[in-house]
Amino acid sequence: MWAALGLLLSFFLVTGLFAAPASDEVGYSELLQRVRQNEVASITYNTQTDVIVAETTDGKQFRSSATPELFADDTGLFEDHGVEYETRTPTPNLIASLIPFLLPVALLIGFFMYMQRRAQGQMGGIMQIGRSKAKTYSTEKPGTTFADVAGYDGVKQEITEVVDFLKSPERFASIGARIPKGVLLVGPPGTGKTLIARAVAGEAGVPFLSVTGSDFMEMFVGVGASRVRDLFQSARKMGRAIIFVDEIDSIGRKRGAGLGGGHDEREQTLNQMLSEMDGFEATEGIVMMAATNRPDILDPALLRPGRFDRQVVVPLPECDERLAILRVHSKDKKLADDVDLVTVAKGTPGMSGADLSNLVNEAALFAVRRDAKQVHMEDFESARDRMLMGQRRESMALSDVEKEIVAYHEGGHAVCAAVLTHADPLHKVTILPSGMALGVTQQLPEERHLYRQNYIEDSLVVRLGGRIAEELVFGVISTGANNDLMGATELSRKMVREWGMSERVGPMAWGGQGQVFLGEDLMHSREYSDETARVIDEEVERILREQEDRCRDTLRHYRPGLDAVAAALLEQETIAGDEVRRLIDEAQRRADDGYRSDPAAPATPERAELRPARS
């Protein structure tokens, strides 16, 4: 409409500019004078505009104006001097005359049509608000298969039955078996639950409807339930299909669970989903899959047999699975010959598939920063340090005193980690500021599924090593052990309250303080008395005091090694775990040789008892 209006205005402007050729304007008396001098050849008079256009004998034109009476009186003069005169009454253009009247009407009509279409669009949007927002992945598109999912052989084997049922449901119907209606994928974030669900659809060759739990929530009442109905209707029209709901905990939380659990709209959406899952038979060919990392907050009615009656745990990958994941994400990367993915997999325990993908990408970014043509092993080391310890703060400059304190603090952590038998292996120690820390002692945890008490106690000693080292060397402690003390206190409290590792408290366990919105009560009540709380606090203090004394004895015995590690850190700023163990062994050997050469020195069998088998 605006383009048409612009064209119309430009047409009038152009016609106004080029309507008449440029000519001279003279008075009527001068026109008559030129006629008497025989300089005018012809005259044309416009009766509507009273404009006279005269043409001279040499072909030039000029203009004048006169009333009709004057022009009629002088026609005899024109005839006497042989001037051809003509009177014209131009016929008005009907369209040009109607345009000034039709243009406002056309603008009003166009405005009302625009408003009507806009209102219809809004009404259409309101009518469409109850439709499902599920994304449909049809069989024509390239699908994801189990070959694209590295590792997780146990998970693949467990959900192979779903694939077999979708491929040939008649096999199950002929023998009377029914496939689970719902499969719930449970696991930590980043383990590939959504990828596994797409792989099931790709293997079965059926449409895949993907939707997240938050897509059901809107500001309008009843929209969530309407979208659930539309989602299942769309799946039934496709015949065999997979409905995948990601982050189902956003709508599947326990109903009536205190604060945050009384949202009527969310509960109505959950009720509609429960009724829809009961509404289709197991032989219809529709399988519902969902993913969550919070199965503890789901409503029990959602997990009962007949709905989500099969839970598939997708755990963090083991070493072999991490190796397979690294190989998948390294396919399009130019790796150098010195890259050993087996070593990288062993050095990344606890990382999920998303973490490993980010690790490979970070390594490639480090290679780009170095202007390297390939990704080397040092890039993987830098990427792992970046993810575990944070970005190195090059701009922070420590004073000499602070640097020495940080060196002995990190040296205390490193010595305890290197000499204690049950501690995690020491990988690296640095006094370069990284992330929020002034220095970092990095351990690489081994693959563990159970944590024994001696391992936890050694972990407490390692955490307290920095504070005790400052105390032994400088006679005063600093604020650098804040994070260590918080972690040690939390760990010792779990030993007493949850893991039954206190003889005084006995075999009793109380879980952590749960959030209000997870429980059925408005306020969380403590499960034990004030006397028991006092006993728990005393036991936590006892454990910390005992491990503090043990850490102090260990660092006193390995004081030469502590001094050697701190000196190496001040000189090199970063040393590897093997180098820390070598420095400790050499320093202790020199100290023991000097100690034994003194004939007055008494025998100390406890010195040998403190040295474990590792060192």
CB 333 within 8 A of CB 205: no
Q: Specify the amino acid at residue 349.
A: P
Q: Measure the CA–CA gap between 543 and 540, rounded to whole angstroms.
A: 5
Backbone phi, psi, residue 551, to 5°: -65, -40
Q: Is 410 a catalytic residue?
A: yes
DSSP assignment string, 408-422: HHHHHHHHHHHH-TT
Q: Which of 410, 457, 470, 539 does the annotation list as catalytic?
A: 410
CB 285 within 8 A of CB 201: no
Nearest to 192 by CA among 289, 308, 315: 315
Q: Measure the CA–CA gap between 547 and 464, rounded to whole angstroms.
A: 8
One-letter-per-residue 3-state SS of 62-111: EEEECCHHHHHHCHHHHHHCCCEEEEECCCCCHHHHHHHHHHHHHHHHHH
SS3 53: strand
How is residue 119 written in tokens?
A: 């209102």
Match 């598109």 to its residue by tokens.
Answer: 141
Nearest to 429 by CA among 409, 459, 403, 445: 409
CB 269 within 8 A of CB 214: no
CB 252 within 8 A of CB 302: yes
Q: Could you tell me if residue 55 is left (phi over 0), alpha (psi between -120 and 50 degrees) or otherwise beta?
A: beta
Query: How many other CB atoms are there within 10 angstroms of residue 245's CB atom?
Result: 27
How is residue 215 written in tokens?
A: 């897509």
Match 């007949």 to its residue by tokens.
Answer: 306
How is residue 180 written in tokens?
A: 């689970």
SS3 52: strand
Residues in the chain: 615
One-letter-per-residue 3-state SS of 293-318: CCHHHECHHHHCCCCCCEEEECCCCC
Q: Measure the CA–CA gap between 152 and 324, rounded to whole angstroms.
A: 10
Q: Measure the CA–CA gap between 148 and 150, rounded to whole angstroms.
A: 6
Match 């020199």 to its residue by tokens.
Answer: 590
SS3 182: strand
DSSP assignment string, 122-159: HHHHHHHTTS--PEEE-TTSPPP-GGGS-S-HHHHHHT
Q: For 364-510, list the strands marked E by DSSP.
A: 426-430, 440-443
Catalytic residue IDs: 410
